[in-house]
Every structure is written in structure tokens, then in C-alpha cells.
Structure 1
Amino acid sequence: MTDAAAPLAPPAAMPRRDRLRRAFFRFRQSRLSLVGAAISALVLFLALFGAALAPYPAHVAGGVDTASRFLAPSPAHPFGTNELGQDVLSLVMAGTRASVLAGFAVVVIGTIIGTLVGAVAGFAGRWIDEALMRLTDLTLTIPSLILAMAIAAALGPGFANMVIAISLSWWPGYARLVRGEVLAVREETYVTAARALGAGPSRILFRHVLPNVASPVIVKMSLDMGFAILTVAGLGFIGIGVRPPTPEWGTLLSLSRSYMPDVWWTAVAPGMAIFLAVFGFNLLGDGLRDAFDPRGRR
């Protein structure tokens, strides 16, 4: 009697839970995916706690020690010091927050805008689809970095303006992806059944269609994190991103280029940080893609 009276999981929940379990199992089978997950976790950890764990917090706050200018890497300063005598390791650790949080904000905002545009276009069809997709195509014709640079230059330097500028150039890829997925999902049996039961278009779209196109969107988000961080660093490098004294990887690289190649360590540390972040998120994205869509493996 106890077993018969126990609540059963909803029929739709079991296949979804089983798919997630199988995807997690496939993800664990790939060593490169686990390496990417570990690097990404480390980058996110430093983004949250890097400034607090920096060995020289006074340097992060803008402190200057001119007596320690351009010290080579040593046990006291593993990545040396810069032209102001600041510890490069501390600046790179603290700069993780601005670079990673900006990249994360860009991906989230771009995903929200692109998902809404693609979902409405794919579900509504007709002239709405045509108008939204032509707008998307028009945006795609302009290179994203050039468009971000133009918007950032118009808005002015600063963290918020940089995020807005990159986000406005980031959404078309998600719009294209979501539209294609929605066009396939809207013809499924459960969507037809929901429509027959009297569900409105907004309920069908947000309750039945979008949850079933989330997997490819999540995979694209993980792949885009690395490229968003790289774009943030690029804007900081040319001087229209985060401005000093706030540490940021692209800004640190820009300041160090005047002292290359003699004082090489001031550029190697932020350069390696950018490389590891992009590399880690790309490995993570590849692993998630293979886990959620094993047919896509080559």
C-alpha cells in the first residue's frame, strides 16, 4: 500500500532527468572536458575571491611602490612588478573579476535578447519572422568587434558601457540558433496537444517550447564565454573598456606593451590569464556539446 500511495514523478520529468544523467555520464568520460571544467571553476573562483586573496591588496587598491619598479619574478613577486612597483600577480588575480564578470554579463544579456528575438520569430512566423530575421542579418553583416568598438566609443569608457556595447553585437547568433530550434519544436505533438487544450501562445512558447531548446543555448553560452572575455580584453587593450586604476587583463596588457621585450613579465601574466580562461571555457563548451548531443561527435 505504501508503494502504491507514493507520489510518482511527472511523466515528462523522467525522460528529462534521464537525459541529464546520461549527459553527465558522457561528460565525465572525456578528460579534456574535465580539464576545461576545472580551469573554468578556477577562473570563476578567482573572479569571486581573487581580489581578497591577492598577496598585495594595497597594490590592487592603487598603491604605488616606486622603489620596487620592474622587479623580475621572484619568490616575493612570482610574476614580478610593473612600472609603478605593483605586484603583477595581485593585479592579475584582482583583474579576473572585471574580465570574467564582464564576459558573463555580455553572454547573459546577449542570450536573453537573442532568445527572445529568435523565439518570437520562429513561433510567430510570417512577417514578424521576416522582419526580425532581416534585422538579425543586418547586424551580422557588421563584425562584432568593430560594432562593439563603435558603440563603446560612442557611449564612452567604463564597465557598464563596455558590457552594453558588446551585448548589442552579441545577440544575433542566439537569435539564429533559437529560431531554428523553435521551428523544429513547435511542430511536436506536445505543442499541438497544448494548443488543442486551449493554451495561449505565450504559455506554449515559455512553458513548452523554450524549455526544450535550452540545451543548445547552454552549450553556446559556455563556448561564448571565452570569446566574450577575449572581446572584453580587446576593448580594454585599445583603451575603451575598463579604465585604470581598476585592474583588467586587457588594460594590463596595454600598459605593459611599452616595456616589451625587456620587462616581459608584465605582459606574460595577463596574457596567460586570458589564454587559460578562453582555453578552459572552450574545452568546457566542447564537452557540454558532446554530452548533450553525442551524434555531433566526429
Structure 2
Amino acid sequence: MTDTAEHIATEPELPKQDKLQRALFRFRQSRLSMLGAVMVALVVFFTAFGTLLAPFPEHIAGGVDTAARFQPPSWAHPFGTNELGQDVLSLVMAGTTVSVLAGLSVVLIGTVIGTLVGAIAGFAGGWIDEILMRLTDLTLTIPGLILAMAVAAALGPGFTNMIIAISLSWWPGYARLVRGEVLAVREESYVNAARAIGASPSRILLRHILPNTVSPIIVKMSLDMGFAILMVAGLGFIGIGIRPPTPEWGTLLSVSRSYMPDYWWTAMAPGMAMFFAVFGFNLLGDGLRDILDPKARR
């Protein structure tokens, strides 16, 4: 009797394990997806430890060495030095923490707001859906960068203000995505069964509907990380985001453009770091879409 009960208890876990193994197998079969995972892992590593591992931490804190200004790449300074004699490699490593954390914050805030709006609109329907979706459409009519620039200019420069400014233009895409997923799921048989046994609307939404919309949200978040990093760098580049002496890829590019092309290394390092991060997140997002999107499964 005990063996039978244990067999029944463990039986539902097998399909989940098999599904996970199949997903990992499909992911490993794609070389580009694996490359993206490795690149993102490196970005995450330097986000966590870049400031600690920087060879010249005093330069990150604002220290200068005018005697070593504009030195070309060498063993002592692999990416050369800038106009203040600061080690460009140290600044780029510290800038990884700022840029990636800012992009992650934007994506998380946009996801939370968009998921909340889209879930309520899709589940409630009627006039609530109309109001929330018209608000979403109104936000979508304004280019994201223009809206972020306007809000950032009104709030003033700074890390927090920049994240708020970009997040206000980031949530509509998630609202549209989640609303569509909720509309497709809310009439499923298990949702009707939950209604029949008297489950509250909030329980149905949180326990039965939203968990089935997680996969497309994760895919969109992974793809959006690269665009969020570019948006953060764009605001820093035009001077209304994070400002020096805080190292950030966009501000480093903004300062170095005045010294191009003679001192090209000052712009090459932050530009290549940005390209590496964005390319890695895009490859990882494509891989996650292949394993999480039901239409891509065979």
C-alpha cells in the first residue's frame, strides 16, 4: 500500500522533469544560445565584482593622474587612459555595475507595472479594459526615448530619476503582452473549474492565470535587457542621465567623443562593452524563446 502511494505521489513529477530536460537539450543544441548564456554570465560576473576587481580602484572614486593622460593601450593599461589619466578598463568594469543594474531595474519595474495593468485589463474586461488599454495606447504613441528624455529632464539627473523616467515608457509593451495572454487563458477549462468551486477572482488570477503567462514575460524581459541598457546609455550620453564622475557606459562615450579619432581607445572600450552585453542578452533571449514558446516546440 505504501509503495503504491509513493508511486502515485511521484508520478506527476516525471512530466515536469522530462519537460525541463527537453528544454535544456534544445537550448544546448543551439550554439548561439549557449554563446549568449556565456556572454550574459560574464556580464553578470562583472556586474557583481567589476568594481572590486578593477586594477585602479582609486580612479573609480574620482582620482586622477594627469601625468599618465591619454596613454595608448599597454600591459599596464590594456584599454589605455583618458583625459584625466584614469585607467579606462577600471572605469568600464565599474560602469558595468551601474549600466546593467540600471537596465535590470528598468525591466523589472516595467514588468511589474505592465503585468499588473495587463492582467487587470484582460481579466476584468468591460470599461476597465477600455480605460487601461486606451491609456496604454496613449503611452505607446509617444516614442519611448522622447518620453524618457522629457521625464528625466523634469526630474533632474541621477540614477533613481533616470530609472523612473525610462520605466514610465517601458511598461506598455508588457501590458499588451499580458492582456493578450490573459484573454487566451481565462476561458480555459481549469479556470472555469476554479470558478465553479467558488474560487475568488483574485485567487483565479494569481494562482491559475498569471502562472501560465510567465514564459512569454521571461522571454520579453531577456530581450528587453539589451534595449534597456542602450536606453540608459543614451540618456547618459546626452547628459540627462547619470553624470560623471559616476562611471557609466553612456557617460564614458559622451566624454570620449571629444577626443575622437586621435584617442580612439577612450571610446572603443565602453562601446565594445555595451555591444557585448546587448548582443549576449539578445542571443540568450532568442534561446529562451525557442525553449519556452510552445509554437517553437516540436
Measure how far apart 1:111 and its partner are: 0.2
Give the alignment's TM-score, normalised by structure 2. 0.96
Kindly provide the amino acid, as one letter, of the partner of residue 24 in structure 2: F
Q: Once the 2 structures are TM-superposed, how far is the Cα of residue 23 of structure 1 from its aligned partner?
A: 1.7
- Matching residue of 2:9: 8
Specify whether residues 10 and 186 from structure 1 end up closer, same or farther in structure 2 by C-alpha distance, changes over 3 A only: farther
Matched residues in 1 for 2:129 and 2:238: separation? 37
Residue equivalent to 1:269: 269
* Deviation of the 1:16 alpha carbon: 4.5
Which residue is 2:181 aligned to? 181
Q: Partner amino acid for 2:161?
A: N
CA distance in structure 2 between the aligned counterparts of 1:16 and 1:187, rounded to whole angstroms: 24
Displacement of 1:3 in angstroms is 2.2
- What's the secondary structure of 2:78's corresponding residue? coil
Partner of 1:210: 210
Given residue 19 of structure 1, which amino acid in structure 2 is its aligned partner? K
**Correspondence 1:63 to 2:66:** no
- Is 1:76 the equivalent of 2:95? no
Residue type of the alignment partner of 2:166 = I
Deviation of 1:240 after TM superposition, in Å, equals 0.9
Give, in whole Å, the separation in 2 of the partners of 1:140 and 1:14. 43
Distance change in 2, residues 1:126/1:14 (3 Å): farther
1:140-155 matched pairs, under 5 angstroms: 140-155=140-155
Long gaps (5+) in structure 2: none
RMSD: 1.4
CA distance, structure 2, for counterparts of residue 184 and residue 96 of structure 1: 39
Matched position secondary structure for 1:270 = helix
**CA distance, structure 2, for counterparts of residue 188 and residue 260 of structure 1:** 59
Per-residue CA deviation, residues 46-71 of structure 1 (Å, 9 max, x unaligned), is 01100000011111111100000000
1:15-30 equivalent positions in 2, closer than 5 A: 15-30=15-30
Query: Residue 80 of structure 1 aligns to which amino acid in structure 2?
Result: G
Q: 1:199 to 1:20 in 2, by over 3 A?
A: same
Unaligned residue ranges in structure 1 (runs of 5+): none
Aligned to 1:172: 172
Query: Which residue matches 1:99?
Result: 99
Matched residue SS, 2:193: helix
In the other structure, the counterpart of 1:112 is 112
Q: Distance in 1 between matches of 2:19 and 2:194?
A: 23
Tell me the residue number matched to 1:48: 48
SS in 2 for 1:8: helix
The amino acid across from 1:8 in the alignment is: A
Matched pairs, number: 296
Give the drift of 1:40.
0.5
Inter-partner Cα distance in structure 1 for 2:244 and 2:188: 53
Cα distance change of structure 1 residues 224 and 195 upon mapping to structure 2, 3 Å threshold? same
Distance 1:170 1:53, change over 3 A: same
